[in-house]
Every structure is written in C-alpha cells, then in structure tokens.
Structure 1
Amino acid sequence: MKISELSRTTGVPVASIKYFRREGLLPAGRATAATLAEYGDEHVQRLRLIKALTTLGGLSIAATREVLTAVDRADSADGTLKAISYALPVPVAQAPAVDEDEEARAGAAAAADVAGLVAAMDWRIPATSPHVRGLTTALRELRRLDADYRPERLVAYAELARSIARLDLERAAAFEDAPSLAEQAVVVLALSGPMLELLRRLAQEDLVRRRTTFEDSEDVGADAPA
C-alpha cells in the first residue's frame, strides 16, 4: 500500500508517518521509485503500537523509541512485557516535602514496609524496580495521612493483585508476535488501572447499598406494630 493508504488504514496523518520514519520509530517502506514506497501489514502494526505508546502510554518520542528498540530485541513474551511495563510511567501522587528529617524517616519506614511485603509474598523483584519505588512513595504518602497500610494488611490486597496479574499473563499468551503483544500490553497496562478502580468502586457501592437496605429493613421491622 502507498503512504496515503497507510494513513487511511491507521488513522495516522501522512505528516506523522513521515515524522515517525525520520525519528527511527517506523522502518522505511519498500522503494518502488525515487519518491515512492510500498508499505505492508508490519507498518500498520508498528503504527498501532506507536499510537498506543504515545497516546495511551503518554510516552515521549524518545521514550517510545527506547521501548520499540527493547521490544525488537526481546526474545520472548516475558521480555516484551517487561520492556513495556518498565517503560510506562508509574502513577503516584506525591505531596511536597515539609520537613526533610520527617520525610527521610517516613521514606525509610515505607521502604521497610515494601520490603516486608515483597518478602511475605515471596516475589522475585529487584529493589531497583520502578514499581517498588512507586509503591514506596505511595505508602509514604499514606503515612502522612496516618493510614495504616502495613505489610500484614497489604498482603490481602497483594494476593488479589497476583490473581489479576495471572489473568493478564493468560491473556497475553494468546498473542504470538511481539508487536501485537506489545500493543496489547500497553492497552492493558494503561487502561487496566482505571478499569480496576471503577470495578472496586462499583463493588463498594453495591456493598454499601446492600448494608443500607438491610439496615432500613430492620428499622421498618422494628417500627411495625406487634
């Protein structure tokens, strides 16, 4: 297909396709003339992955190039998933430091909590993982609010997270080639957080409504004449 057809198929403007090609994100097409080239399904797939990384993943062009390089070099599905997982930003809200000494103590305590959780779950995760750093930051912020999220309390949540991770990997097993797997991983990792949070809130809403209905029923029963 020509570049105009590639643009229509993917929804990516011709100017963007040329830009991605200049930046080394998209391989060149097969030259058919001095100024013409043919593109194939591999270019469609690559553009879909680039769109997923830059739009859903929110990555810069430079970061996208690094991820694509890692995906191209990955020799297994696990390698592809790791490249995507480590590349996407870790969303953690962090309040500005007020007292440096207090900040250091809270950070050390949070780091100890995360280490305790990883040990309790028997997770094989390096301390340099961005997700370890992200969870440490999250726990430190929770400590600011006096929220009691110690390792023993977090284990129950971690067990649920492990079950979700297993579902994710089972889903990933259906994709045989690295580009398709990478694109799906971006979609899942970028959107699963908000989706899971909404499912959690729906479940909470259901439980609250059920409790409220039960309590209201008890009140009505209590006021009924004997």
Structure 2
Amino acid sequence: MRIGELSKRTGVAVPTIKYYLREGMLQPGERTSPNQARYDETHIHRLRLVRALIDVGGLPVATVKEVLTSVDSPSDNIEKLLGTVQHALFPAPPPSQEAAMQEAAEQQVRAMIDELGWYCRDGHPAVSALATVLVSAQALGHGEFLDTVRRYVAIAEQIGVVDLDYIADRRFVDGMVESVVVGTVLGDTALIALRRLAQVSESAKRFPDRRRPEGQTEVSG
C-alpha cells in the first residue's frame, strides 16, 4: 500500500507518518521508485503501537523512541527488558530541595522492600519515585500516608503476578517484548481508570444518601 492508504487505514496523518519515518520510529517501506515506497501490515501494527503509547499511555515522543528501541532489539532476558522499559517510563526526578528528607524516604522504601523480600536492582527509579511521594505527603502533613502505601503492597504483588503472566503467555520473544511495553504502559492507564471507578463505587456504598441522579439538584424546604 502507498503512504496515503497507510494513513487512511491507521488514522495517522501523512505528515505525522513521515515524521515517524524520519525519527526511526517506523521502519522504511519498500522502495518502488526514488520518491515512493510500499508499506504493509507491519507498518500498520507499528503505527497503532506508537499511537497507543502516545494517545493512551500519554508518553512523550522521546520516551516512545526509547521504548521502541527495546522493542526492536529483542532479548530473551525479560527481567532486563522490563527494567529498560521501566527506566524509560520513569522521568528523571527534579532536583530536591529536601535532599536529607529524600534520602531518608528512600531508606524507608528500601527497608520496606527488604522486609517484603522483594527483589529490586540498585538504583531502580521506582524507589526514588515512591520516596518522592512520601516526602510530598510528609510536607503536606500526611506522614501517615506510608501506612496507606503499605496497604497497597498486597494489591501490587498481585498486579505483578498478573503482569508477568501476561508476558509469559507470549510464545515468541518478539511477542514478549511487545507485551512488556503494552502491559506496562497501557496497564498503567488501565489501573488508573479502574482505581477511579473503584473509588466512585466505594464512595456510593459509604455515602448512599449523597447519591442522586445526574443533573438533579437538591431541593430544600
């Protein structure tokens, strides 16, 4: 197919497709003349993956490029691959004005990981990210939020099992590589959506008299 049909089938504008080609996010098509190329189903699949990472996952283009590098360099070391994708997904934390508090919080997080018996490589960005959350909560007067984080642990363990089951279900390395990306990026978005839905449902259970049909206002007197 020509680039126009590729655009029509994927909903991605031709200038955007050309940008992805220049940036190496989309493999070149088969040249049929100096100014034209032919594309196939693999290009459709890659464009859908790129748009899913950007539109659904909310990733910036630079991060998508980094993640796609992992997809295009298959490895049977899934633990290493997962780490590469996770490092790409976690933005570098901004310089902290409370370096001592950040370090203390990171020590808390590492102690919790050791207590749980979890395996985690040194320098994993999730440790700093969770520590930053704790520092922010403490600055707002919510130091007890750590207790809530501890309650998240059992849920997080089950999510980890489900995620790795999804990856392991792929028979071939290429499928496993892409499932790491899809399961991590889209999984994050799905979990946020499910959390919001669960909050709404639990709120309705706890405060039933506050429920009213949408658009209906309370009438006094």
Q: Which residue of 1 aligns with 2:111?
A: 116
Give yes or no for contact 2:63–2:89 (8 Å, CA) kept in 1.
Answer: no
Q: Deviations over 1:75-99 (max 9, x none)?
A: 135554433332224699x9x97xx
Q: Deviations over 1:115-173 (max 9, x none)?
A: 121111111112311111110000111112332134x6643321111112212222334
Is residue 2:49 matched to residue 1:53?
no
Q: Which residue of 1 aligns with 2:163?
A: 168
Distance of 2:16 and 2:60 partners within structure 1 = 14
Give the aligned residue type for 1:188.
G
Does the C-alpha gap of structure 1 residues 11 and 106 become closer, same or farther in structure 2, counting only changes over 3 Å?
same
Determine which of 186, 201, 204 is the counterpart of 2:202: 204
Give yes or no for contact 1:110–1:139 (8 Å, CA) kept in 2.
Answer: yes
Determine which of 129, 154, 157 is the counterpart of 2:152: 157
Is residue 2:101 matched to residue 1:106?
yes
Q: Considering Cα pairs closer than 8 Å and 6+ residues apart, tell me whether 1 or 2 has the greater RCO.
A: 1
Q: Which residue of 1 aligns with 2:187?
A: 188
In structure 2, runs of 5+ residues without a counterpart are 211-221
Paired residues in the alignment total 204
Give the aligned residue type for 1:209.
F
Instruction: Determine what percentage of the aligned residue pairs are the same residue.
Output: 30
Does the C-alpha gap of structure 1 residues 207 and 91 become closer, same or farther in structure 2, counting only changes over 3 Å?
farther
Give the aligned residue type for 2:61.
I
Does the C-alpha gap of structure 1 residues 178 and 20 become closer, same or farther in structure 2, counting only changes over 3 Å?
farther
Give yes or no for contact 1:106–1:143 (8 Å, CA) kept in 2.
Answer: no
Distance of 1:105 and 1:28 partners within structure 2 = 50
Distance of 2:3 and 2:102 partners within structure 1 = 52
In structure 1, runs of 5+ residues without a counterpart are 214-226
Q: Which residue of 2 aligns with 1:64?
A: 64
Give the aligned residue type for 2:13.
P
Distance of 1:203 and 1:49 partners within structure 2 = 32
Q: Deviations over 1:56-107 (max 9, x none)?
A: 3333333322221122113135554433332224699x9x97xx5xx24422
Distance of 2:166 and 2:194 partners within structure 1 = 16
Distance of 1:28 and 1:178 partners within structure 2 = 23
Give yes or no for contact 2:168–2:176 (8 Å, CA) kept in 1.
Answer: no
Does the C-alpha gap of structure 1 residues 11 and 185 become closer, same or farther in structure 2, counting only changes over 3 Å?
farther
Does the C-alpha gap of structure 1 residues 202 and 105 become closer, same or farther in structure 2, counting only changes over 3 Å?
same
**Secondary structure, aligned partner of 1:142:** helix
Q: Deviations over 1:157-190 (max 9, x none)?
A: 211111122122223344452564234542222x
When Rg is computed on C-alpha atoms for both structures, the one with the higher figure is 1
CA-based RMSD:
3.0
Distance of 1:7 and 1:185 partners within structure 2 = 27
Give the aligned residue type for 2:102.
G
Following superposition, the deviation at residue 16 of structure 1 comes to 0.9
Following superposition, the deviation at residue 54 of structure 1 comes to 2.5
Q: Which residue of 2 aligns with 1:135?
A: 130
Distance of 1:8 and 1:56 partners within structure 2 = 20
Following superposition, the deviation at residue 28 of structure 1 comes to 0.7
Q: Which residue of 2 aligns with 1:222?
A: none
